[in-house]
Structure 1
């Protein structure tokens, strides 16, 4: 079935840019995977399918849907890097590309990612690589069927979801403005009544309530309001929220200012709407949650004035978005990304993080098989020719070998394919004395590809920080910042080249790193 996202997902309120959950996408033979998809947020000038780009991401252990991670004690601390947030990170780094996050077919003990549809493995996801497991065929079928599923979603359902997200953002913005006003009034009242202990106690109680309302408001770099992941306790930027009861309210007495109650009501309206989104499925056989549900919520409230105002705003925004022309020939079409959608014909960028790197390693086995044993397979050769880049992000798994490919024949085949190879590491994997084979295998992988003159880059992040699991996850953010920095440098070079001026490019190593964090392997060996 086609799946929409739950109430816990993050969304860009002002667009229909997802992320969307598409459940049980069919692949090779009887295989299927759940997929998190984000369309491009910047339109390419070229409309040719071959010029589009798809980012394929395979995550690591622990990474799953947010509601699943929340119920696991060990996973809860890494909610910031759930699959949907990871899709959003990648979307910011690759704004012109389709983002496709492939969920593991199994999550053993809600912890171990098992990509059985791509590579055989045990209950902990430790891989058993074989020359051919039809992983590439499975990927191709996934892309074909994902394209069909996305195209089949009725436009009004996607636009309704975007309208609901925009209405939720408006409710949060109204609550933020009202909370700021009340906070200012409360400060004045507190100063004027400081001689009265009773008044002072009420003012302090009010301040606590107001702060809880404010903590539900997040604004991104573009000034757009982002609604939070309620159950996860995190925002899109990953900042923790210290909500008391999960919805940002504190029930600690009846001595509340009327304005504070109004803000709480607006906040409750936001939560009600997010709960509605959790039941909504983006599917051709389902319909979106009607706005009348908000009316029922209002009728069950003590004070409906704020909720009715919010409801009016929601109805207006939904009506405005529905009335927007959506013809395929219009540049204003919010679903332009579905025009000529054919993801298996796009240029492909393959990214593996941690355990997800075992899928990339299996691809290398199958590259060699297809190039040497079945070179006449024209369909697969066309797919291979579309892969432009492969990224290994701090690869690792629970086994004691085959974390990195070290076979010369396999790496020779990889080199002949001419794709760009990128390695991003942290001390968590390559400086752990308890697992020395990871460091040795990665060194062989990198040095052998260099000797074969493969186009490879290597970056070590957080080298001056203690090795821990959090920095291991944060390589995702460092990698995305690195890509964003390279994009900015390229834009500067193009601009200066057009003006025939010398360019001075600044290096940005990302948050939490310094000039020694990005180390080339050749420099490290000196």
Structure 2
């Protein structure tokens, strides 16, 4: 969560040149090797007609190579990123005094950062459906939330919720982007399809909701094949304005996550887990990681910048360091 706590940290600046098309925007990223293209997909429908999200797609640099040395298609491998507060499209951030200092962490720039981290995969950045006061990201399409984006988590319900929204949104976005190997509208997944999910700050509420839905989704034959293709989930300095449930602490939900075979990664900074005004965040993070360890999940975890004072810049920098 990016709250109003002050931080006088300097940032790196970047710029992109963009051109518009009907319903989408494409831009060449001059700093990206092999001329990777960033495509903006506006108003993509999800599991209900009124559940629409904007997305960015950064396509892979080139086909990947398997460990056996044979060439394999890389466009079935996908990374989906859910952003935090303040983060938005660059042209919208520049208009907001509180957001303008953080342009280095615009959705476009994050897509490029993730492209460097995952060079052989499609990078999808999902924009929150609502930005209250231009800064509080709300993922209402994935989990019931108040106006500030604090979630009310619920178990799986077929045809709605986070898994249904994610699957349908990706399917429709792939069709809009004219990808060759698309996720079918309902059931199944194309050969070689794999999915890595990354939540940053407020965006972690989506990952948390997926964990609460996991048991029901794995039992639903229309969703199980999709769930099985999730290889990794990354929690990056999770936080939201609610008074709890920043991290999943429910043992039965975590038992399901541990049994799913998904590789769990938890990267945090003192900005979130050592804030004395929100001490529950650090406690919940400890319960999350310890419980998964007790259940045999062996999550990877790291506290970044632990020798430095808590700082909003370091909160963002976890996106570079994970």
**Aligned match for 1:413, one of 253, 256, 265:** 256
| Equivalence for 1:25 | 44
Distance 1:14 1:474, change over 3 A: closer
Are the counterparts in 1 of residues 217 and 227 from structure 2 also a CA contact under 8 Å? no
Q: What is the distance in 2 between the residues matched to 1:349 and 1:465?
A: 30
Q: What is the distance in 2 between the residues matched to 1:473 and 1:422?
A: 17
Q: What is the distance in 2 between the residues matched to 1:389 and 1:443?
A: 20
Are the counterparts in 2 of residues 2 and 149 from structure 1 also a CA contact under 8 Å? no
TM-score by length of 2: 0.84
How many residues align structurally?
286
**Aligned match for 1:38, one of 39, 58, 68:** 58
Q: What is the distance in 2 between the residues matched to 1:47 and 1:96?
A: 10
Q: What is the distance in 1 between the residues matched to 2:181 and 2:295?
A: 39
**Aligned match for 1:349, one of 196, 212, 215:** 196
Normalized per residue, the structure richer in strand is 2
Q: What is the distance in 2 between the residues matched to 1:19 and 1:144?
A: 18
Q: What is the distance in 2 between the residues matched to 1:14 and 1:464?
A: 34
Gaps of 5+ in 2: 1-21, 66-70
Q: What is the distance in 1 between the residues matched to 2:134 and 2:222?
A: 36
- Mapping 1:135-214, distance limit 5 Å: 135-151=162-178
TM-score by length of 1: 0.52
- Mapping 1:367-406, distance limit 5 Å: 367-371=214-218, 375=219, 377-406=220-249
Deviation (angstroms), 1:44: 2.0
Q: What is the distance in 1 between the residues matched to 2:303 and 2:32?
A: 35
Deviation (angstroms), 1:148: 1.0
Say if 2:314 is the partner of 1:471. yes
Deviation string 1:428-473 (CA, Å, 9 cap, x unpaired) is 0011111100011000000000010103110111011110111111
| Paired residue secondary structure (2:235) | strand
Higher mean displacement: 414-423 or 128-137: 128-137
Are the counterparts in 2 of residues 351 and 393 from structure 1 also a CA contact under 8 Å? yes
Q: What is the distance in 1 between the residues matched to 2:95 and 2:163?
A: 33
**Aligned match for 1:2, one of 8, 23, 26:** 23
Say if 2:280 is the partner of 1:437. yes
Q: What is the distance in 1 between the residues matched to 2:271 and 2:133?
A: 23
Are the counterparts in 1 of residues 64 and 73 from structure 2 also a CA contact under 8 Å? no
Q: What is the distance in 2 between the residues matched to 1:370 and 1:74?
A: 39
| Equivalence for 2:99 | 75
Gaps of 5+ in 1: 152-337, 480-526
| Equivalence for 2:269 | 426
Q: What is the distance in 2 between the residues matched to 1:449 and 1:97?
A: 28
Normalized per residue, the structure richer in helix is 1
| Paired residue secondary structure (2:215) | helix
| Equivalence for 1:105 | 129
CA RMSD after TM alignment: 1.9
**Aligned match for 2:150, one of 90, 112, 126:** 126
